[in-house]
Structure 1
Amino acid sequence: MKQRIVYSTMGKENSDPNASHKFSGGTDGSIPTNEPPSLSKPPVPSASNQEVDEMPLDDLFDVLRNSRRRRVLRYLFTKDDRTATVGELSEQVASIEQDVEVTLITSKQRKRVYIGLYQTHLPKLADLGLIEYNRGRGVVTLLSQADQVEPYLFVVQEKASWKWWISAVLVLSYSIVVGIIAINYSVVASIISVMITAGVFLGAMFYWRRSLRL
Structure 2
Amino acid sequence: MIGLMAQTTHTIDPTDFDISGDDDGDDETDPTLSKDTVFGMLSNHRRRRVIEHLSEAEDGRMTIRDLSEVIAAEENDVSPAEVTYKQRKRVYTSLYQIHLPTLDDNGIVDYEKREGVVELTSTATDCTIYLETVSNGHLSWADYWLGVAAVSAAFVVTSALGYLPYFSQNGHVSAAIVAATFALSAVAFAISDDRIQL
Q: TM-score, normalised by structure 1?
A: 0.50
- Partner Cα separation in structure 2 for residue 161 and residue 106 of structure 1: 35
Could you tell me which residue of structure 1 aligns to residue 61 of structure 2?
A: 83
CA offsets 1:86-125 (integer angstroms, 9 cap, x no match): 0000011101111111011110000000000000000000
C-alpha deviation, 1:154, in angstroms = 2.3
Q: TM-score, normalised by structure 2?
A: 0.53
Could you tell me which residue of structure 1 aligns to residue 97 of structure 2?
A: 119
- Partner Cα separation in structure 1 for residue 146 and residue 85 of structure 2: 33
- The SS at the match of 1:136 is coil
Gapped regions of structure 2 (runs ≥ 5): 1-28, 148-198
Could you tell me which residue of structure 2 aligns to residue 95 of structure 1?
A: 73
C-alpha deviation, 1:132, in angstroms = 0.4
- Partner Cα separation in structure 2 for residue 94 and residue 163 of structure 1: 33
- The SS at the match of 2:71 is helix
- Partner Cα separation in structure 1 for residue 90 and residue 58 of structure 2: 27
Q: CA 1:103/1:160 → structure 2, altered by over 3 Å: closer, same or farther?
A: farther
- Partner Cα separation in structure 1 for residue 116 and residue 79 of structure 2: 23
C-alpha deviation, 1:160, in angstroms = 7.5
1:64 aligns with 2:31: no
The question of whether the paired residues in 2 share the 8 Å contact of 1:82 and 1:141 is answered with yes
- Partner Cα separation in structure 1 for residue 40 and residue 53 of structure 2: 18
Equivalent residue for 2:113, pick from 132, 135, 143: 135
Q: CA 1:160/1:110 → structure 2, altered by over 3 Å: closer, same or farther?
A: farther
Which protein, 1 or 2, shows the higher relative CO under an 8 Å CA cutoff with sep ≥ 6? Answer: 2
Letter in 1 for 2:33: M
Gapped regions of structure 1 (runs ≥ 5): 1-50, 166-214
Letter in 2 for 1:86: I
Could you tell me which residue of structure 2 aligns to residue 27 of structure 1?
A: none
- Partner Cα separation in structure 2 for residue 160 and residue 96 of structure 1: 23
Computed over aligned residues only, the root mean square deviation of the Cα atoms, in angstroms, reads 2.8
Q: CA 1:90/1:161 → structure 2, altered by over 3 Å: closer, same or farther?
A: farther
Structure 1 stretches of 4+ with a deviation exceeding 3 A read 159-165
Q: CA 1:108/1:59 → structure 2, altered by over 3 Å: closer, same or farther?
A: same
The question of whether the paired residues in 2 share the 8 Å contact of 1:52 and 1:144 is answered with no
- Partner Cα separation in structure 1 for residue 131 and residue 120 of structure 2: 14
What fraction of aligned residue pairs are identical, expressed as a percent?
A: 41
C-alpha deviation, 1:159, in angstroms = 5.9
- The SS at the match of 2:118 is strand
